[in-house]
Structure 1
Amino acid sequence: MSLIDLLSWDAFGSGWFWSLIVLQWFWHGAQVLGVPVDCLQSKDRGQLFTIVKWRAQRRVDTAHQAPLAVVVALSFLVSVLFILGFVYQIELCAAASLLILPELVIFRLGYRTAQTICA
Structure 2
Amino acid sequence: MDLYLTIAELIDTRSFSSVWFWITLAVFWSIISHYVVGVPFDLVQRAQRRDDPRAWDDLERLSRINARRLSFIGSSAGLIVTGVAGFVLSALFLLGFAYRVELCQALFLLAFPFCLVSLLTQRTAREILAKDPTGEDLVQGLKRHRLYTQLIGIVSIFVTAFWGIWQTMSTGVLGN
Q: TM-score, normalised by structure 2?
A: 0.61
1:3 Cα deviation after fit: 5.2
Root-mean-square deviation (CA), in Å?
A: 2.0
Q: 1:82, 1:93 within 8 Å by CA — same for their partners in 2?
A: yes
After superposition, the C-alpha distances for 1:95-115 in whole angstroms (9 at most, x for unaligned) are 110111111111000000111
- Determine helix, strand or coil for the equivalent of 1:89: coil
Asked whether 1:15 is paired with 2:19, we answer yes
Moved runs in structure 1, 4+ residues, more than 4 A?
Answer: none
- For residue 118 of structure 2, the aligned residue among 99, 107, 111 is 107
1:30 paired with 2:34, answer: yes
CA–CA distance in structure 2, aligned partners of residues 112 and 70 of structure 1: 16
SS at match of 1:66: helix
Alignment of 1:1-119 (within 5 A): 2=6, 4-41=8-45, 42=47, 43=50, 44-66=55-77, 68-119=79-130
Distance, in Å, in 2 between the alignment partners of 1:106 and 1:67 is 15
CA distance in 2, matches of 1:69, 1:108: 14
2:39·2:59 contact (CA, 8 Å) conserved in 1? no
Cα gap change, 1:75 to 1:92, in 2 (>3 Å): same
Identity percentage over the alignment?
Answer: 34
How far apart, CA to CA, are the structure 2 residues paired with 1:95 and 1:35? 28
Return the index of the structure with the highest Cα Rg. 2
Distance 1:33 1:67 in 2: 16
Task: Provide the secondary structure at the position in 1 that maps to 2:13.
Answer: coil
User: Is residue 44–residue 59 contact of structure 2 (8 Å, CA) maintained in 1?
Assistant: yes
Counting helix residues as a fraction of each chain, which structure ranks higher?
Answer: 2
* Unpaired segments ≥5 residues, structure 2: 1-5, 131-176
Q: Distance in 2 between matches of 1:52 and 1:93?
A: 35
Query: Normalization by structure 1: what TM-score?
Result: 0.86
Structure 1: 5+ residue stretches without partners: none
